[in-house]
Amino acid sequence: MDFRKAGLRETEYEEIKRVLGREPNECELRIMGVMWSEHCSYKSTKHLLKLFPNEGERVVLGPGENAGIVDLGEGLGAAFKVESHNHPSAVAPYQGAATGVGGIIRDILALGARPVASLDGLFFGDPERARTRTLASGIVHGVGGYGNAVGVPTVGGKTVYDPCYNENPLLNAFCIGLIPLDEIVSSRTARPGQAVVLLGSKTGRDGIAGAAFASVELSEDNKASRPSIQIGDPFAEKLLIEACLEMKEKKLIVSMQDMGAAGIISSSSEVAAKSGVGMILHFDKVPLRAENMEPWEIALSESQERMLLIVDRPRLSEVMKIAEKWELDCAEFGETVEGDEYTILFHGERAASLPATLIGDRCPQIHWPSRRPADLEARWTFDVEDIPLPQDWNEALLSLLSSPSLASKESIYEHYDSMVQLNTVVGPGHPVNMLRIKGRDSLIAMTLDADPWKCSLDPFRGGAETVARSVRDLAVSGARAAGLTDCLNFPSPEVPEQYWVLEECVKGMAEACAAFNCPVVSGNVSLYNESPEGAILPTPVVGTVGIVPSTDATLSSGSWEEGDVLFLVGPCNPSLGGSRYLLSQGRLEGRPLPFSPEAEKDFVERALKTASSKAAHSGRAISGGGLAAALAKESMESGVGAAAAVPVPTRKDVFLFGEGGARALYAVPMSRVPLFKTLWSGYPCIPVGRAGGDSLSVEGAFSLPVAKLLTKWRGR
């Protein structure tokens, strides 16, 4: 078989031959082709990901594991990760989304953690297009259909619309789980002489070579790609969750791995390589549900709802009993051995024999050429004088609020069960989502964020801003960011300008992470998100997790009360460059503000103190849509209007719609104003108005009844 047909590059083929000391057979070629695809090996980005800081005092487990874990204190850890399922969602939106959710849940489960919440990152094209509506509907129903049935609440997310996603929708699924630190199941603890066990659904031909599919651009005729789609069964996954956790409680599991991309081969070789053991697998013992499957098909199948377990022989019967109770297939199909050899036997024949470490780890890195886009400065050229002030301020605000990316997402999240498991303190529709931890005072705060437009204008600044936005949101709510997980959604790295953008985004994100002491504990990369219609904007997504010591130390959004003084903290010179306001006029230009580490860190400390000392009734960090959007959202959520004014000589539209920098809008009761001013003394802080009445008005700009804002924003 030609190595190219297996998806291998010449250098990769040569490296395999060199290590093996012989020609690989067809089964081995197919296996290596998938395991060394971009999706599985991260060959184009591994060296870039090393730029992320991944250590910190709360980091228990960093990148390279099933998920990252941060210490929540008192012996409890939070495991979390975000993963993309973009290409499958473009071809079969419901199942692509469903299996994306299922896959990330299993990653969390593989550490022995109970999945407690999900967030969904959705990136759709132009909503006027029928195709976008079809894709969006399928994806949303897939997220809900799977998440609701499996009993993991979807408590928040991020939904973005832009024409660049027309044929390349993105689905980033984030999941978080809880695990006592002394019960973490590792993939490094297998020893020779143990049993390799497959638990879960039978293996079929689903998604064969799907991992390689994720690394290929979508062709004109994506109907032909259909056989590669996996089908998800949330009922089976719920049984799998309960069975695995029961086995973990009884300490029956030595090591565990979820079967996602490249199923059996990926999970088993990873455990082998990380534990430093070899494996002999008998593929004829794998429970199958399709006929005449070849060894390479069994190896690469992406049938869902399966886990790989390493079990001590004496405890196998107990494992089987639990599997039987939950009516899951459970089969011992191999053993761990000394050494590094990974062998697949099939009906007495040796189908493949490769070093375990070669399969998952030693793919030659690719350093694609990188070139700064020639038109970068041109994009930044932006004269604010070119932008006319709004003719009708009210229309301008309403239009911004009803723009697809800013409008209420209630029609999406009301399809998600956000309450199951009884931990949701702040659910969907808020800047930060919060979970309580039963039996404790502390809460977990989370947010999912992205800003592809700023990333496309200035990748370094955009990457930093993406991280900064999430950390600011958490700080205003009272949570200190403990760690984040990232998903890098980008087009092809083989175009030098696009590769440069990827590099710069990562560098910007890394700088912000370092400044905030917020390490990257896990993550995912999805490249080749483009089609003949075009490439997506650079879309790094971050899922940031923080901890609040008690409900007392939280500050909610949307809690204005009559008479509160409204304060804007932060620089008064934001930028319209890359702002939602300009975008809503069809313009993507300007240069986002630079990342100022000292100011950002200062902001975080003061925001945390504001929350813990209860110096305000309500707070919201300024992000998409600028101060105007923040005023409107606070007002709508509170049900209270405001009388505000622009107290500085800055152009009104820049002041109201500009974005960038560490800024927030607070509503402070009269009695707490002196305390508030003290907490923010030394940082830009100006009063901008008072809350009250049933209209939101800014002198010389807009004035609208709150009820009208709500109707337009909710679209119903």
Q: Which residues bind other proteins (CB under 8 A)?
A: 144-145, 148-151, 204, 233-236, 238-239, 289-291, 325-327, 414-425, 436, 438, 551
Tokens 């079967």 correspond to 259
Of 150 and 254, nearer to other proteins (C-beta) is: 150
Of 30 and 436, nearer to other proteins (C-beta) is: 436
The contacts of residue 653 (CB under 8 Å, 6+ apart) are 387, 389, 390, 576, 581
* Active site members: 39, 85
First vs last C-alpha separation in the chain: 58
CB 152 within 8 A of CB 105: yes
Of 216 and 710, nearer to other proteins (C-beta) is: 710
Of 419 and 707, nearer to other proteins (C-beta) is: 419
CB 643 within 8 A of CB 562: no
The contacts of residue 691 (CB under 8 Å, 6+ apart) are 560, 561, 562, 563, 564, 565, 566, 635, 638, 640, 641, 642, 667
Closest approach of Cβ 180 to other proteins, in Å?
17
Closest approach of Cβ 155 to other proteins, in Å?
11
Closest approach of Cβ 177 to other proteins, in Å?
15
Eight-class DSSP state of 286: S
Of 46 and 114, nearer to other proteins (C-beta) is: 114
**Cα distance between residue 106 and residue 299, in whole Å:** 19
Closest approach of Cβ 414 to other proteins, in Å?
6
Fill in the amino acid letter for 70: V
Kindly report the backbone phi and psi dihedral angles of residue 386, in degrees, each rounded to the nearest multiple of 5, phi listed first.
-70, -15
Eight-class DSSP state of 638: H
Closest approach of Cβ 548 to other proteins, in Å?
13
Of 425 and 535, nearer to other proteins (C-beta) is: 425
| Dihedral class, residue 193 (left if φ above 0, else alpha if ψ from -120 to 50, else beta) | left
**Cα distance between residue 45 and residue 430, in whole Å:** 33
Of 1 and 419, nearer to other proteins (C-beta) is: 419
Closest approach of Cβ 404 to other proteins, in Å?
20
Q: At what angle are helices 234-249 and 130-150 packed, to 10 degrees?
A: 40
CB 542 within 8 A of CB 173: no
Give the residue ranges of DSSP H helices in 26-151: 26-35, 38-41, 46-49, 86-91, 93-109, 130-150
| Dihedral class, residue 397 (left if φ above 0, else alpha if ψ from -120 to 50, else beta) | alpha
CB 403 within 8 A of CB 624: no
CB 467 within 8 A of CB 509: yes
Eight-class DSSP state of 670: G
Closest approach of Cβ 413 to other proteins, in Å?
8
Closest approach of Cβ 260 to other proteins, in Å?
21
**Cα distance between residue 356 and residue 114, in whole Å:** 29
Closest approach of Cβ 614 to other proteins, in Å?
17
Of 374 and 422, nearer to other proteins (C-beta) is: 422
**Cα distance between residue 296 and residue 283, in whole Å:** 10
CB 413 within 8 A of CB 157: yes
- Residues across the chain: 716
624 strand-pairing partners: none
Q: At what angle are helices 10-20 and 26-35 packed, to 10 degrees?
A: 120
Of 212 and 437, nearer to other proteins (C-beta) is: 437
**Cα distance between residue 355 and residue 339, in whole Å:** 9
Tokens 């999805």 correspond to 526
| Dihedral class, residue 586 (left if φ above 0, else alpha if ψ from -120 to 50, else beta) | left
Closest approach of Cβ 77 to other proteins, in Å?
20
The two tokens of residue 536 are 């997506």
**Cα distance between residue 108 and residue 704, in whole Å:** 46
Fill in the amino acid letter for 94: Y
The two tokens of residue 523 are 């993550």
CB 51 within 8 A of CB 520: no
Of 17 and 325, nearer to other proteins (C-beta) is: 325
Closest approach of Cβ 422 to other proteins, in Å?
5
Of 287 and 571, nearer to other proteins (C-beta) is: 287
Sign of CA dihedral 315, 316, 320, 326: positive
Closest approach of Cβ 351 to other proteins, in Å?
23
DSSP string, 442-474: -EEEEEEEE-HHHHHH-HHHHHHHHHHHHHHHH
Of 132 and 418, nearer to other proteins (C-beta) is: 418
**Cα distance between residue 716 and residue 714, in whole Å:** 5
